[in-house]
Structure formats: C-alpha cells, structure tokens
Amino acid sequence: MNWHKSSSLQLVINDLNDIAADAYRHRIRPRAKKGGNGVYDASNGGFSYLLPRRYELNLRARFEVVRLSPDALLVKAMSLEDPSCFMKAIVDGRGQLTQIEFPVTTGLSSRSSSTNQLPSSTQVVSVGTALPHPRLLKVFEDF
C-alpha cells in the first residue's frame, strides 16, 4: 500500500480510531470483567490494555502499543511495504486520538489532483483537534 496517497493515510487513521475505541472499552470495563478498572495500565487494580490480535496486522500496516500510562497510550502503525512509513498516535483517557504524527512533505494540500499523490520527502507533522494535555506529553516525550 502506498502511504504517499491521502486515501491510504485515511485508512490507517481509521484503523487507529478502531484501536482507540477498543482501548477505551477496555479502560472503562471493571476488573471483574478483565478490564482496566478506569485506566489503561494496571495501576488501578485492573488489567493492562493489550492490543488484540485482530488489530496487530492487516493489509495496510502492523500496529503495536508502544507505551501505556493510566490516562493515555501511544500506538504505532508501520507500513508493511516500507518500514520508513509510520504513524504514531496518542489515545487519551476518552478514547480519542489527540495527536497523530506521520511522515509527509511540505503540505497535504499540495498533492496532484490527477494521481492523488503526496510529495515524497519526509518530515513529521502533528495533526489533532486538541493539543494533548501537558501530562500526556511528559509521559511520551522521549519516544
């Protein structure tokens, strides 16, 4: 899959949203039902979130939970065709993607209309509806 196409990126972001929803369901489930008991890790007496096998790998990417905290988790998606193509996303305590980082070039708006291709050099761009809480950034700053 060509991650330089915006449609490919949207599909991977959709996969990340599915993972975020699954993680949130785990977070709010009580310990008696093998849930997180209000947190993503085991700090509140529940079970730590583990990525289910159905989310680990698909035709687009390989996914992994890189880091857990009580209120957030960091998920990484890596292209199966090109390991230099990756995405990282922070899932907040509400089960929403608050920050997504992915390699693109100088702008998503500069793609060619005929091929739907994005330029090919890479830099990391952060996208999100809200800035992550400073405490979340501190947890994940050294990734």
Q: Is the pLDDT of residue 124 over 80?
A: no
DSSP three-state, residue 10: helix
CA angle at 112 for the pair 128 and 85, rounded to the nearest 5°:
50
Phi-psi region of 41 (alpha: psi -120 to 50; beta: other; left: phi over 0): beta
- What are the CA-CA distances from residue 82 to residues 11, 33, 66 (Å)? 16, 39, 19
- Given a cut of 80, whether residue 128 has pLDDT beyond it is no
At residue 24's C-alpha, the angle toward residues 22 and 26, to 5°, is: 75
Reply yes or no on whether the pLDDT at 3 is more than 80.
no
Q: Bigger pLDDT: 108 or 40?
A: 40
In this prediction the pTM is 0.75
For residue 91, which phi and psi values (nearest 5 degrees)? Answer: -100, 125
Domain extents for the chain? 6-140
pLDDT at 114: 36
Tens-digit pLDDT profile for residues 15-55 = 999 999 999 999 999 999 999 999 999 999 999 999 999 99
Separation between Cα atoms, residue 5 and residue 3, nearest integer Å: 5
Q: Say what the pLDDT of residue 112 is.
A: 32
pLDDT given for residue 102 in this prediction: 76
Q: What proportions of the chain, in percent to the nearest 5, are helix, strand and coil?
A: 30, 25, 45
- The first and second tokens of residue 79, run together, are 């292209």
